[in-house]
Amino acid sequence: MKEEQRSLLLKSAALFSPPQGVKLSYGTAGFRADASILQSTVYRVGILAALRSLKTRSVVGLMITASHNKVTDNGVKITDPSGGMLSQDWEPFADQLANAPTSEILVSLITEFVEKENILLGGEQSAQILLGRDTRPSGENLLEAAKQGIKSVLGATALDMGVLTTPQLHWMVHARNKGMKATESDYFEQLSSSFRCLVDLISNGTKINPTDNKVVVDGANGVGGEKLEILKSMLNGLAIEVRNSGKGGGVLNEGVGADFVQKEKVFPHEFGFKDVGIRCASLDGDADRLVYFSVASDCSSKIDLVDGDKILSLFALFIKEQLSVLDGEKNERSDNKYQARLGVVQTAYANGASTKYLKQSGLEVIFTPTGVKYLHEKAAQYDIGIYFEANGHGTILFSEGVLSWLEAKNNELASLAKGSEQQKAALRLLAVSKLINQAVGDALSGLLLVEAILQHMGWSIHKWNELYQDLPSRQLKVKVVDRTAVVTANAETRVVSPPGIQEAIDSETVKYPQGRCFIRPSGTEDVIRVYAEASTQEDADTLANSVASIVDQFLGFGTPK
């Protein structure tokens, strides 16, 4: 490393001392912690982002957010050139950087890494990093720390894109590296025009009753609500009412948002009995998760939850239907042998009833550990890969191959069978590929796709919810001394360490009809998560509580919350 670079790093690193006695880990979705201890981590991730950009010779992103976590937390993560999550083989280096105890050790780690990775610092190559942040009050200061980190790598520049949803930043990085227009207004333009296009292509016979054409959206008092206000003004034929947009004084993610609604299964603030019969949706703090719900008519605060699994099922049915329309066309023309491979990806949190339904519908279902980085990777192995976590985080990926095939099909049919159902099926799939975010799960694009498909099917939220009946489930979190003591295998369905705990969970689970239970360490909070499902709510609750006590016995002082 050149002396100029070395002294630049040493000088800036001295301004950002790491917090004492804290070990940080890149986790499920970047570093997350109380915002007050994150300055040094964000500064160091700024350096990491610059190195990633130099290494890949592409634009990368850096997002300041703690998504669904509480407002006093914050976090930082990197968007890779594809628009996806940081390549997992760089995560150990991210951990090393964040935890380096002194500036000298930090600089020697960087020196070693750039040599190993053949990254030339201070050469001709330049690096560009797009920066985004959510609405957390700590975001502005942390963004400055990220800029300092980027500035301390020679040739690196930061471009501040302002307050964004996480998926908007991912979309921008993806678009820029593909040479497409990539401003925020380009994002809104692409979503709104592909939505209009898709709605124009929906079947004519069964359009939804126009009076039912309204969705009320809980913005979690975060960035999603304000962005949705802009987007909705560019749409027609769909009425969107935004509540909890953050302007009314409510607190981010407190009693509101997709995580709260999905976990507690009650309606968020600002919703109530006035909403019975109305289609409602909830975004999370940085708008990368989406769930739907309807308010129960029994005067309780309960809701009928339409979670990520049901969004996945709706998308999968629609895509499958379009592919079979195209397939019908293929059989008439034996020269076209292309068969698009469709796969759906879930995690252990997927309700057992959803997996059964998807399999019975003839779909190929694969499981990965929790974390979009794992699901996305798996989905990308298909021509069309749909992934969703039950918490509402997911998207649909189209391979380059399937997109070329659809383009070719559309051109062929435009001359042979213009306006046919087959041509419309090709056009619908092409419109979906533009509407749904190809970089990461995106609540705003997901919402528009749900709305278009419901119109296409002529379904109310109740009809959609009746696709299958969820098995009752319960999620708990348990505070333990050291959550890293829990090591899991088989897509997080089995615990391999500490010894004995899995056997204890198994002997509890077998007591309940249709019982299923697993535990895993959270990658975004300092807790062990417990998930249980069974044939009745009472059983699911009892199973979850018993397993939480087992976790407590094995791992420490916790009391389930």
Which positions are annotated as active-site residues?
67
Please give the Cα distance from 548 to 561 (Å, whole number): 9
The answer to whether residues 216 and 294 touch, using CB atoms and an 8 Å cutoff, is no
- The one-letter amino acid at 509: T
Q: For residues 503 and 526, which CB has a smaller minimum distance to ligand G16 in the complex?
A: 526
The gap between the terminal CA atoms of the chain, to the nearest Å, is 50
**Among residues 43, 57, 79, which one has the least CA distance to residue 127?**
57
523 lies in the site for ligand G16, by CB under 6 A: yes
- The one-letter amino acid at 321: E
Q: For residues 25 and 537, which CB has a smaller minimum distance to ligand G16 in the complex?
A: 25
Please state at what angle helix 443-457 crosses helix 184-200, rounded to 10 degrees. 10
Question: In 10 A of CB 304, how many CB atoms?
Answer: 17
Name beta bridge partners: 73: 34
29 lies in the site for ligand G16, by CB under 6 A: yes
Per CB under 6 A, the list member of 67, 177, 368, 465 interacting with ligand G16 is: 67
Stretch that binds ligand G16, among 51-59, 99-107, 303-311, 523-531 (CB under 6 A): 523-531
170 lies in the site for ligand G16, by CB under 6 A: no
Please give the Cα distance from 41 to 47 (Å, whole number): 10
Stretch that binds ligand G16, among 119-127, 296-304, 387-395, 544-552 (CB under 6 A): 387-395
Q: For residues 289 and 409, which CB has a smaller minimum distance to ligand G16 in the complex?
A: 289
Stretch that binds ligand G16, among 183-191, 275-283, 386-394, 480-488 (CB under 6 A): 386-394
Coil/strand/helix, residue 207:
coil
DSSP conformation letters of 233-292: TT--S-EEEEE--STTSPPTTSS-SHHHHHHH-BPPTT--GGGTTSEEEEE-TTS--EEE
Q: How far is the CB of 428 from ligand G16 (least distance, A)?
A: 28
Please give the Cα distance from 394 to 346 (Å, whole number): 10
Q: How far is the CB of 213 from ligand G16 (least distance, A)?
A: 29
Structure tokens at 397: 């990926």
Q: Is 524 annotated as a binding residue?
A: yes
Residue located via tokens 């990926």: 397
Q: Is 390 annotated as a binding residue?
A: yes
Per CB under 6 A, the list member of 141, 420, 522, 549 interacting with ligand G16 is: 522
Q: Is 133 annotated as a binding residue?
A: no
Q: Is 377 annotated as a binding residue?
A: no
Stretch that binds ligand G16, among 93-101, 229-237, 325-333, 385-393 (CB under 6 A): 385-393
Q: Is 522 annotated as a binding residue?
A: yes
Site for ligand G16 in 341-380 (CB under 6 A): 370-372
Q: How far is the CB of 169 from ligand G16 (least distance, A)?
A: 13
Q: For residues 309 and 383, which CB has a smaller minimum distance to ligand G16 in the complex?
A: 309
Q: How far is the CB of 371 from ligand G16 (least distance, A)?
A: 5
- Binding string to ligand G16 for residues 219 to 258, with x set by CB under 6 A, is what? ----------------------------------------
Per CB under 6 A, the list member of 44, 52, 55, 68 interacting with ligand G16 is: 68
Please give the Cα distance from 261 to 486 (Å, whole number): 27
| Total of residues contacting ligand G16 (CB under 6 A) | 18
With 0-12 / 13-18 / 19 or more C-beta atoms within 10 angstroms meaning exposed / middle / buried, residue 290 is buried
Q: Is 277 annotated as a binding residue?
A: no
Per CB under 6 A, the list member of 284, 307, 329, 383 interacting with ligand G16 is: 284
134 lies in the site for ligand G16, by CB under 6 A: no
Question: For 391-441, where are the E strands, in sequence order?
Answer: 394-398
Per CB under 6 A, the list member of 196, 393, 424, 516 interacting with ligand G16 is: 393
288 lies in the site for ligand G16, by CB under 6 A: yes
The answer to whether residues 119 and 111 touch, using CB atoms and an 8 Å cutoff, is no
Structure tokens at 429: 């799939």
442 lies in the site for ligand G16, by CB under 6 A: no
Rg of the chain on CA atoms, in Å: 24
Q: Is 482 annotated as a binding residue?
A: no
425 lies in the site for ligand G16, by CB under 6 A: no
Stretch that binds ligand G16, among 33-41, 205-213, 476-484, 522-530 (CB under 6 A): 522-530
28 lies in the site for ligand G16, by CB under 6 A: yes
The answer to whether residues 51 and 153 touch, using CB atoms and an 8 Å cutoff, is yes
Q: For residues 242 and 287, which CB has a smaller minimum distance to ligand G16 in the complex?
A: 287
Q: Is 288 annotated as a binding residue?
A: yes
117-124 own/partner pairs: CB under 8 Å, 24+ apart: 117/51, 117/55, 119/51, 119/54, 119/55, 120/54, 121/1, 121/2, 121/5, 121/54, 121/153, 121/154, 121/155, 122/2, 122/4, 122/5, 122/154, 122/155, 123/155
Q: Is 80 annotated as a binding residue?
A: no
Q: How far is the CB of 528 from ligand G16 (least distance, A)?
A: 10
486 lies in the site for ligand G16, by CB under 6 A: no
- The one-letter amino acid at 212: D
Q: How far is the CB of 288 from ligand G16 (least distance, A)?
A: 5
Q: Is 104 annotated as a binding residue?
A: no
Please give the Cα distance from 396 to 384 (Å, whole number): 7
Q: Is 529 annotated as a binding residue?
A: yes
User: For residues 376, 381, 385 and 386, what is the CA-based torsion angle, rounded to 10 degrees?
Assistant: -30
CA atoms within 13 A on the CB side of 436: 30
Q: Which residues bind ligand G16 (CB under 6 A)?
A: 28-29, 67-68, 284, 288-289, 370-372, 389, 391, 393, 522-525, 529
Annotated binding site for Mg(2+): 67, 284, 286, 288
Annotated binding site for substrate: 389-391, 520-524, 529
